[in-house]
Structure 1
Amino acid sequence: MPPSTPPPPVRRRRLGTELRRLRERTDLSATEAAKRLGVTQSRVSNIEAGRYGVSADRVRTLASHYECADQALVDALAAMTGDRKRGWWEEYREMLPAGLLELAELEHHATALRVAQVINIPGLLQTPAHARALFGESVPPLPAHEIEHRVSHRIKRQAVLHQDNPPQYTAIIHEAALRMQFGGPATTRSQLEHLIAVSEREHITIAVIPFGSTSFPTSAQGVDYICGSVPQLDTVGIDTSTGSELTDDASRLAKYRLVLDRMESVTLPPDLSRDLVHRIIREL
């Protein structure tokens, strides 16, 4: 049996989705758009589904036919055509759920990242021992080899914070997550010391919601907000029992921007957040 063809990269699928949205705003059918471009209707459909790559010039031509006057958006879409190589996450294609690979791809291209966690330390800030302890709590239990694949994948994702010109990263963490002792006191102490160390980096902000807060404007779900080069290309990931649910629906993006803004408004300032982490370490 021949090997299965991997799905299109999430970035190419997003480009196709945005081109479809532009077309639909002009009330053009795929057939009508194809006639204007001098291509087949199937070609347009395949571009919009992310199955076919498309050049920057073709993107600009499509945007012109679709009467898009937002030059920043057109430039951002054209820029999404340049990277045809598959990333490091593809080595995990047959090992891990597709959603984890898509999250890594989105983070790799992000201009900024905002996350919020209530029970867990954010994945990009976890130590290997802490991540291994978390995956060991999965229900039903994960096989030992899959736990190691997940730990390896999570640690490789963290490279985005240590590259040249890294994205601005803001982590909103509830005090409950800091006090959970996954893996025991020694693992917890090492994890909290790691948080303090990374919080010293200029592009990383860690803000804690203390137990004494009188407001809590969200559920206990974790949120990963991944900023694109323009707001229309943002994506939000919501933690669920089966993994991260990714969406680029405009109304949900607006909702979670507001949720994160409100959560951030009740956090301690970064210096007081760091002091709280130090205090929790002393109490271990």
Structure 2
Amino acid sequence: MTLRKTVRSRRLGKLLRQLREDAQLSQDDLVALVNTGKPPRRLTTTHLSRVETGLARLIPDHLTRIVAATNASQDRAAELEELRRRADERGWWQEYRAYVPEPVEMLAELGEDATGIRSYDIAFVQGLLQTRAYAEAVVGAARAHVLPVDVDRLVELRMRRQQRLRAPDFGRLVAVMTEGVIRTVVGGPEVMREQLRHLIAITEALPVSVHVLPFSAGALPGPDSLVIFTFSQEGDGEAVFVDSDTASRIYEDRDRVTQCTYTFSAALAQALSARDSLALINQVMKEL
């Protein structure tokens, strides 16, 4: 059965592909092993290919046979079964499917599973740190992409994503934003003052650190805003959401993730310390 790709279905497919390749099996080889002994339902190479790209479901019997054919450990088998089961679960973010493209839906799902987040923003305050009024101004300004009737739903999605920061199993959010972000008056002076006050307050209340990349740092280390997600399972790797003027994309391949990590690290290295960043935010707030 075909499904809209989700973070969990992609992670399941990635791990299954790694298992198969580690066992030095082609897709045809693995399908032949799974179908040995006349299983209740035969697996096809086409279906396995779609599973490995996160676009099809996997029944429990097929997963059990794949685990046996690839000699996967008990721990890895348990992790795969958890991902298989959860790939079919309906997450709260799916309520907004009609209003957002697939990468934005996956952004919400990534945040829900992540234990650590690093962000680099060049245009607006990181969505996880926005006030409702600021978010309304940002979403409402995207008139070319967002219908006026959808603004409230999209802002609601953004506010619900922020709840992850308060979860007991969440580690830390490290947010780097350019000085232009905190000086651009989004929504008017009062909305912006409230947003800057919120940035200061949230670093005291939650596991969040904010770093401002000052104008004096020179050329930006990267042209796009991005969010890097880290997960608790060692085999999960990391994932990156990249947002640009033309498209939003999710990357999980090592080369892309490494490139984005370098961009974030360069931005953080040039940014002010957390203490100096809050001092600058407070200064800008007073200037409004």
TM-score, with length taken from structure 2: 0.85
Matched, 1:17 2:14: yes
Task: Find the aligned partners of 1:163 and 1:54 in 2 and give their Cα distance.
Answer: 31
Is 2:110 aligned against 1:106?
A: yes
Matched AA of 1:14:
R
Alpha-carbon distance between aligned partners in 2 of 1:280 and 1:109, rounded to the nearest angstrom: 34
Say yes or no: does 1:175 pair with 2:179. Answer: yes
Pair 1:215–1:240, CA change in 2 (3 A): closer
- Tell me the distance in 2 between the aligned counterparts of 1:268 and 1:72: 42
Contact in 2 for aligned 1:132/1:151 (Cα 8 Å): yes
Superposition deviation, residue 194 in structure 1: 0.6
Please list the CA deviations of residues 100-151 of structure 1 after superposition, one character each: whole Å capped at 9, or x if unmatched.
1111011100121110001210000011111111122225263211111211
Q: Given the alignment, which residue of 220, 223, 226 partners 1:223? A: 226
Distance in 2 of aligned mates of 1:64 and 1:47? 17
Aligned length: 278
Q: Provide Cα deviations, 1:158-187, integer angstroms capped at 9, x if missing partner.
A: 111122232311101111100010111011
Distance 1:265 1:67, change over 3 A: farther
- Partner residue of 2:208 out of 204, 207, 223: 204
**AA in 2 matched with 1:222:** S
Alignment-derived partner of residue 276 in structure 1: 280
* Correspondence 1:93-132 to 2 at 5 A: 93-132=97-136
Q: Superposition pairs for residues 32-111 of structure 1, below 5 Å?
A: 32-37=29-34, 38=36, 40-42=43-45, 44-50=48-54, 51-53=56-58, 58=63, 62=66, 65-66=69-70, 77=80, 79-83=82-86, 84-111=88-115
RMSD: 2.8
| Gap runs ≥5 in structure 2 | 37-41
Identify which of 159, 173, 177 aligns with 2:163.
Answer: 159
Determine if contact 1:9/1:86 at 8 Å carries over to the other structure. no
Partner of residue 137, structure 1: 141
Change beyond 3 A, Cα 1:183–1:63: same
- Name structure 1 gaps, 5 residues minimum: none
* Range with greater deviation from structure 2 (141-150 or 185-194): 141-150
Q: TM-score, normalising length from structure 1?
A: 0.86
